[in-house]
Protein backbone atom coordinates (compact mmCIF):
# COMPACT_ATOMS: atom_id res chain seq x y z
CA UNK A 1 0.00 0.00 0.00
CA UNK A 2 0.96 3.60 -0.43
CA UNK A 3 1.72 6.01 2.34
CA UNK A 4 -0.73 8.83 2.61
CA UNK A 5 0.31 12.26 3.79
CA UNK A 6 -1.51 12.56 7.09
CA UNK A 7 -0.04 15.90 8.14
CA UNK A 8 -2.80 17.89 6.45
CA UNK A 9 -5.53 15.75 7.97
CA UNK A 10 -3.85 15.91 11.37
CA UNK A 11 -3.71 19.69 11.17
CA UNK A 12 -7.35 19.95 10.16
CA UNK A 13 -8.60 17.54 12.82
CA UNK A 14 -6.59 19.06 15.63
CA UNK A 15 -7.87 22.53 14.82
CA UNK A 16 -11.39 21.37 15.72
CA UNK A 17 -12.78 22.22 19.15
CA UNK A 18 -15.43 20.29 21.06
CA UNK A 19 -18.49 22.49 21.42
CA UNK A 20 -19.37 20.89 24.70
CA UNK A 21 -15.98 20.81 26.43
CA UNK A 22 -13.89 23.33 24.49
CA UNK A 23 -11.04 20.87 24.03
CA UNK A 24 -8.93 20.03 21.00
CA UNK A 25 -8.71 16.42 19.87
CA UNK A 26 -5.49 14.55 19.26
CA UNK A 27 -4.69 12.85 15.98
CA UNK A 28 -2.47 9.82 16.44
CA UNK A 29 -0.86 7.67 13.79
CA UNK A 30 -1.09 3.94 14.40
CA UNK A 31 0.10 0.83 12.60
CA UNK A 32 -3.25 0.33 10.88
CA UNK A 33 -3.55 3.98 9.89
CA UNK A 34 -4.62 6.53 12.43
CA UNK A 35 -6.79 7.14 15.44
CA UNK A 36 -8.39 10.10 17.13
CA UNK A 37 -8.45 10.84 20.83
CA UNK A 38 -11.14 13.22 21.97
CA UNK A 39 -12.74 14.31 25.22
CA UNK A 40 -16.06 12.59 24.49
CA UNK A 41 -17.57 10.00 22.14
CA UNK A 42 -19.97 12.17 20.10
CA UNK A 43 -17.13 14.54 19.23
CA UNK A 44 -14.79 11.65 18.43
CA UNK A 45 -17.33 10.00 16.12
CA UNK A 46 -17.84 13.30 14.31
CA UNK A 47 -14.09 13.65 13.83
CA UNK A 48 -13.65 10.06 12.67
CA UNK A 49 -16.27 10.67 9.99
CA UNK A 50 -14.60 13.90 8.97
CA UNK A 51 -11.16 12.34 8.82
CA UNK A 52 -12.40 9.37 6.81
CA UNK A 53 -13.84 11.75 4.27
CA UNK A 54 -10.54 13.65 4.13
CA UNK A 55 -8.56 10.42 3.69
CA UNK A 56 -10.85 9.54 0.80
CA UNK A 57 -10.27 12.92 -0.81
CA UNK A 58 -6.52 12.75 -0.29
CA UNK A 59 -6.43 9.24 -1.75
CA UNK A 60 -8.30 10.40 -4.85
CA UNK A 61 -5.92 13.34 -5.25
CA UNK A 62 -2.93 11.05 -4.91
CA UNK A 63 -4.24 8.61 -7.52
CA UNK A 64 -4.86 11.46 -9.91
CA UNK A 65 -1.30 12.61 -9.42
CA UNK A 66 0.07 9.11 -9.99
CA UNK A 67 -1.99 8.78 -13.16
CA UNK A 68 -0.75 12.12 -14.44
CA UNK A 69 2.84 11.10 -13.72
CA UNK A 70 2.32 7.84 -15.57
CA UNK A 71 0.91 9.58 -18.61
CA UNK A 72 3.93 11.85 -18.79
CA UNK A 73 6.28 8.93 -19.43
ZN1 LIG B 1 -16.17 16.85 24.39
pLDDT tens digit string along 21-64? Answer: 999 999 998 888 889 999 999 999 999 999 999 999 999 999 99
End-to-end Cα distance, the chain: 22
Partners of 26 in the β-ladder: 37
Q: Which H or E element spans position 31?
A: none
CA of 25 to the centre of ligand 1 (A): 9
Residue 15's nearest CA partner among 30, 25, 7, 5 is: 25
Residue 1 falls inside a structural domain: no
Residue 27 falls inside a structural domain: yes
Structural domain count, the chain: 1
CA of 41 to the centre of ligand 1 (A): 7
Residue 67's nearest CA partner among 55, 59, 9 is: 59
Residue 43 falls inside a structural domain: yes
Residue 16 falls inside a structural domain: yes
The residues placing their C-beta within 5 Å of ligand 1, an ion, are 18, 20-21, 39-40, 43
Residue 25 falls inside a structural domain: yes
Determine the pLDDT at residue 2. Answer: 57
Residue 34 falls inside a structural domain: yes
Supply the range of the domain harboring residue 12.
7-72
Q: How confident is the model at residue 1 (pLDDT cuts 50, 70, 90)?
A: very low
pTM given for the model: 0.81
CA of 2 to the centre of ligand 1 (A): 33
Residue 51 falls inside a structural domain: yes
Residue 38 falls inside a structural domain: yes
Amino acid sequence: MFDLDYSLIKQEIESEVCQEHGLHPEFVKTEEGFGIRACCDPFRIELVQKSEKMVEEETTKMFEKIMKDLLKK
